[in-house]
Amino acid sequence: MSYSDGTRSVHAGLPEPVVGEPFLRGPVFAAPYHLDPVTGPGENGYARTEHPTREALEAAIGELEGGPALAFASGQAAITAMLLSLVKTGDRVALPGDGYFPVRAFAGGALADLGVGSVLVPTAGPYPDLTGLRLVLLETPANPGLDVADIRALADAAHAAGALLAVDNTAATPLGQTPLALGADLVVASGTKALTGHSDLLLGYVAARDTALLDKVENWRKLTGGVPGAFDCWLAHRSIATMDLRLARQSANAAAIAELLAGRSDVTGVRWPGLPSDPSYPVASKQMRRIPGIVAFDLGSAERVARFLEAASLVFAATSFGGVHTSADRRAQFGDDTAPGFVRFSCGIEDTADLVADVSQALDKSR
């Protein structure tokens, strides 16, 4: 039977009911396990290579993304593992020029040192001829600018050129879009953000349709050891159950905040792919089941951003996004090549009317 997103989130990765057992078993805190003196490991031998709590989380993510998944200690650990396990000296990759800055830094440093070339492409295009590329990575919606790429069209173009297509699904989550169903070969994401949503853990994952690709990534993880801890895996699995509810409120709040900002003459550069006036709306409305709770805008100066955040009662000054508490950060502080007054605003799950009123008064005071 085919279930809706809310039902799938609540039941993802749960074991079959057993009398006397909890719905979701607690984390297993073990590194080694008992071995058979003759035959060696059973289901579990050593936590770096096998771990039941991590495997339950991976089953949940795999169900939602539509392909088997591997969990990593962070989103950056996941994306670098994917790249390093699938490319070699002499390969070339295309990366989002307006996406997560550490990925570009990694390409210009570690990948370049290994003899892997990279080309930076704007998420909204235009895209170059993909011939000769080993892998094309999209981040859609892009962080922090929120441009959206057409996954199906670029998957077709990449495959015609003999390249793999990977999609960073951090902002959208698998409840916003499922890139594997749209033709992508791999999905990579930070589970630190909206997937888990409580700002209390670091997590990343890679999912794929082709098990041979995922086997390469898994072998890399075994040899390098970038696995998440048991408690983080359990926290993440527990948190996924409420993802549908959290995202619904975050998206509703983002719609209201984007409308508020777009109507103010003292705010420029408002971006939210759910606005009909947004450049990404045509693609996003076709491709995505829901728009994430992130809004981008410009307040003109670093000083005004500071005044805005100091005046707001419900907006925490913090980096990251996708949590239940509304937060905002000035991306230029973290090395992003954005304007001094550019703000990435992450809507939490506060009541919409309260959040709109607080943002409105903070903008007034910051002028």
Please give the pLDDT value at position 293: 98
- Sheet with 294-298: list strands edge to edge: 268-271, 294-298, 342-346, 327-330, 316-317
Please give the pLDDT value at position 1: 78
Sign of CA dihedral 68, 71, 74, 78: negative
Q: What is the 8-class DSSP label of residue 334?
A: G
Please give the pLDDT value at position 42: 85
Please give the pLDDT value at position 113: 98
Please give the pLDDT value at position 163: 98
Please give the pLDDT value at position 334: 84
3-state secondary structure of 120: strand
Please give the pLDDT value at position 78: 98
Encoded amino acid at 108, one letter: G
Query: What is the pTM assigned to this prediction?
Result: 0.96
pLDDT band at 41 (very low <50, low <70, confident <90, very high): confident
Model pLDDT for residues 239-294, shown as the tens digit of each residue = 999 999 999 999 999 999 999 999 999 999 999 999 999 999 999 999 999 999 99
Domains and CATH numbers, the chain: 5-240 (3.40.640.10), 244-366 (3.90.1150.10)
Residue 80 in this model has a pLDDT that exceeds 90: yes
Model pLDDT for residues 306-329, shown as the tens digit of each residue = 999 999 999 999 999 999 999 999
pLDDT band at 336 (very low <50, low <70, confident <90, very high): confident
Please give the pLDDT value at position 95: 97
What would the two tokens of residue 310 be?
A: 């100091």
Q: What angle do CA 133, 138, 144 make, to 5 degrees?
A: 140
Distances (CA, A) of 78 to 2, 67, 363: 29, 16, 38
Model pLDDT for residues 89-128, shown as the tens digit of each residue = 999 999 999 999 999 999 999 999 999 999 999 999 999 9
Burial category of 29 from C-beta neighbours within 10 Å (exposed 0-12, middle 13-18, buried 19 and up): exposed
Residue 354 in this model has a pLDDT that exceeds 90: yes
pLDDT band at 40 (very low <50, low <70, confident <90, very high): confident
Region of poorest pLDDT, from 210-214, 332-336, 344-348, 356-360: 332-336
DSSP 38-84: TTB-SS-SBTTT--HHHHHHHHHHHHHHTS-EEEESSHHHHHHHHHH
Q: Give dist(CA 255, CA 250) in Å, integer.
A: 9
For the chain, what percent of residues have pLDDT higher than 90?
95
Rounded to the nearest integer, the mean pLDDT of the chain is 97
For the chain, what percent of residues have pLDDT higher than 70?
100
Q: Give dist(CA 166, CA 149) in Å, integer.
A: 12
Please give the pLDDT value at position 335: 78
Does 102 sit behind a cis peptide bond, omega within 30 degrees of 0 on the bond before it? no
pLDDT band at 227 (very low <50, low <70, confident <90, very high): very high
Model pLDDT for residues 123-164, shown as the tens digit of each residue = 999 999 999 999 999 999 999 999 999 999 999 999 999 999
End-to-end CA distance of the chain: 54
